[in-house]
Every structure is written in C-alpha cells, then in structure tokens.
Amino acid sequence: MSSAAWSYFLFTFSLVVVFVCIIVYYYNPRRKKEIEAPKQRMLEDDEVMPDSKRKGGAHE
C-alpha cells in the first residue's frame, strides 16, 4: 500500500475511534442524571405568578 492509502486508512480509523468515544461518553450510565435532567425540566409544570397577566390556558 502506498503512503497515501495508509494516511487515508489512519485518518478514517481515527475518526471512527473518536466517534465511538463520543458515543461511549454520552451513553455512560454514570451520566444518566445529567442527561435526563433537561428532559424532566421540560415536562414539569410552570409555576403561576400571582401578578400574572396571562389570560386563558390551564393556569387560570
């Protein structure tokens, strides 16, 4: 194999390794709370402010 072929192979292999490392880091069970927190915050109900001027909706 030529040096160009080896360089393409090593570059592709390094990209695959980086991709696998990102996937392993993101789906690590120790990070579950950190990943789930924003999803849970979106599902929580908003607090109603007493001086709110909103009309309609479920908070009335």
- Average pLDDT (33-55) is 76
Place of tokens 């695959």: 16
- pLDDT, residue 59, reads 55
pTM over 0.85: no
Residue 25 and residue 31: Cα distance in Å, rounded? 8
- Mean pLDDT to the nearest integer, 17-34: 92
What are the sequence ranges of the domains in the chain? Answer: 1-27
Distance of CA 48 to the CA centre of its chain: 29
* Average pLDDT for 23-50: 84
Has residue 14 got a pLDDT over 90?
A: yes
Confidence at residue 51, expressed as pLDDT on a 0 to 100 scale: 66
